[in-house]
Amino acid sequence: MAGFLQQLVEGLGAGAVYASLALALVLIYQFTGIVNFAQGEMAMFSTYIAWQFTVAGLPFWLALVLTLAVSFAGGMLIERIVIRPVEGAPELTVVIVTVGLFIFVNAAAGWIWTFLIKDFPNPFPGGAVEAGGLSVGYSTLGVLAVVAVVMGLLYLLFQHTKVGLGMRAVAANPDSARLVGIRVGWMLALGWGLAATVGAVSGILVAPLLFLEPNMMGGVLIYAFAAATLGGFDSPAGAVAGGLTVGVAETLAGAYVGFIGSDLKVGVPLAIILFVLLLRPQGLFGRAVVERV
């Protein structure tokens, strides 16, 4: 039983990371109906920026704040420059453009920082809290706390600020949002900026667990897709719940299903994506959409 709880806690820790990237995906999907295939790569790039800051001698938390600011601006710029021209284009076109962005950002990071792996400092102390036979690492607790803080801040932003209200209005009905004088284009850019920021957090959380390298986020992206699919692509709360669920499912499957083991764990998100899409395509928390001819 203790062993099971231990796995559960570790699953939650992993899940929190997926949740944060899923949150980034959902932020963009809500406003634009786009699934940003480059989200993971953007997060990876942000993580390199943070690494560069720490290498330059900045204390970790200052590097974090600077990185988030740069990521926010970068996300907005990408929306203005790359996504703007295909706004309203067929889904296929938009997906291909974000895949192009995926390849470009990945390669650009390799060009700038090479494909050699780098150590990324862990902001949390080693060691663990021991309680009732359970051992919860500080870094697991730290990751969970960070994701909770991000969630809380987003909640405050959307529910209690005017800008947040405007963004929700754009997500609900862009045409009406224009009619009440909201600059919809800027709100979309803001959405991308926010998503890039939240994504950066997930990259920075992942990097100490894996190694920092340009392909770091490829696997995480699939888990985040599974999380967002499970929670519903239009529900931020669902994305977080989905992320935690996927993390736990993956850890338990790896530990208790002998056939899966650690190397086939990546089949878990694939299975989740398939099952959810076939049984309940809108996800657990999402709204069903009727398509028009």
| Residues found near another protein in the complex (CB under 8 A) | 35, 37, 82, 85-86, 90-93, 95-97, 99-111, 114-115, 162, 165-166, 168-169, 172-173, 175-184, 214, 218-219, 222, 225-226, 229, 263-264, 266-267, 269-270, 273-274, 277-278, 281, 291-293
Nearer to another protein, 97 or 240 (CB): 97
Q: Are 240 and 147 in contact (CB under 8 A)?
A: yes
State phi, psi for 162 to the nearest 5 degrees: -70, -40
Reading the block at residue 90, the tokens are 């067929």
Q: Which of 38, 30, 33 is nearest to 86 (CA)?
A: 33
Q: Return d(Cα 37, Cα 218) in angstroms, integer.
A: 10
In whole angstroms, the minimum distance from the beta carbon of 82 to another protein comes to 6
Smallest separation, CB 111 to another protein (Å): 4
How far apart CA 215 and CA 20 sit, in angstroms, is 18
Indicate the residue among 59 and 162 with the shorter CB distance to another protein. 162
In the bound complex, what is the minimum distance in angstroms from residue 186's beta carbon to another protein? 9
Closest CA to 108 of 118, 100, 120: 100
CA–CA gap between residue 49 and residue 220 (Å, rounded): 19
Nearer to another protein, 142 or 254 (CB): 254
Check: CB of residue 195 under 8 Å from CB of residue 248.
no
d(CA 166, CA 172): 10
Query: Nearest approach, Cβ of 164 to another protein (angstroms)?
Result: 10
Residue placing its CB nearer to another protein in the complex, 1 or 92? 92
* Residue 161 φ then ψ, to 5°: -125, 160
Give the nearest distance from C-beta 136 to another protein in angstroms: 28
Q: Nearest distance from residue 44's CB to another protein, in Å? A: 13
- Beta carbon nearer to another protein, 75 or 142: 75
Q: How far apart are CA 198 and CA 29, in angstroms?
A: 14
Q: In whole angstroms, how close is the CB of 179 to another protein at the nearest point?
A: 5
Nearest CB to another protein, comparing residues 199 and 214: 214
Angstrom CA distances, 61 to 123, 148, 183, 193, 203, stand at 8, 17, 34, 20, 15
| Number of Cβ atoms within 10 Å of the Cβ of 88 | 8
In the complex, minimum distance from the CB of residue 200 to another protein, in angstroms, rounded to a whole number: 20
Give residues with Cβ within 8 angstroms of 69, minimum separation 6.
Answer: none
C-beta of 165 vs 284, nearer to another protein:
165
Closer residue to another protein (CB): 204 or 226: 226
